[in-house]
Structure 1
Amino acid sequence: MKPTKHLYLYFQDGQRLAMRFPQQQGDPAQISRLLRMQLESPFISLEVDGDLLLIPRESIKYLQVCPAPQSIPETTILGAELID
């Protein structure tokens, strides 16, 4: 059984969209390349229940992937904590 990941999209208008998906297959270099391509695209693309969901990046305030993928962008600051 594949580990489960969660994606939380926080939109500019204050709404939130939560999704669950299986860990994606591929070697870490391929996953890193695909993640970079997603971040450079004008849309976040997701297959949801057999449908293609395209979300314009300009409407997204930020997104959160839990737990973080093994391969993350090189420029990522590690070990950060959210505080009030």
Structure 2
Amino acid sequence: MKPIKHLYLYFQDGQRLAMRFPQQSADPVEVARGIRKQLESPFLSIEVDGDLLMIPRESIKYLQISPAPVSLPDPVISGAEMID
């Protein structure tokens, strides 16, 4: 069974969308490449329950993937902690 990942999308208007999905690839390089492709696209494309969601990137404030992939696209600051 593939590990489960969680994606949290935070939108400019304050709404949040949460979803879970199976790990897309076991190859860390392929995962990093896929993340890079999504970031370069004007839409975040996600298949959900047999439907295609195409979310305009400009509507997204930030997104969170949990747990983080083993291999991350360059440049990423590693080891950060959230503080108040």
Whether these two folds match at TM > 0.5 is yes
Runs ≥4 residues deviating over 2 A: none
Q: Which residue of 2 aligns with 1:47?
A: 47
* 1:44-65 Cα deviation digits (max 9, x unpaired): 0000001100000000000000
Count of residue correspondences? 84
CA distance in 1, matches of 2:29, 2:2: 19
Structure 2: runs of 5 or more not aligned: none
State how 1:2-81 maps to structure 2 within 5 Å: 2-81=2-81
CA contact (8 A) 2:44 2:54 kept: yes
CA contact (8 A) 2:33 2:73 kept: no
Deviation at 1:32, TM superposition (A): 1.3
Tell me: CA distance 1:47–1:17, structure 2 relative to 1, closer, same or farther (3 Å). Answer: same
Deviation at 1:74, TM superposition (A): 2.1
**1:7 aligned counterpart, secondary structure:** strand
**1:36 aligned counterpart, secondary structure:** helix
Stretch of structure 1 that moved more, 36-45 or 21-30? 21-30
Q: Structure 1-normalised TM-score?
A: 0.94
**1:80 aligned counterpart, secondary structure:** coil
Deviation at 1:26, TM superposition (A): 4.5
What percent identity do the matched residue pairs reach?
A: 74
CA distance in 2, matches of 1:24, 1:70: 13
Structure 1: runs of 5 or more not aligned: none
* 1:21-72 Cα deviation digits (max 9, x unpaired): 0111252222211110100000000000011000000000000000001111
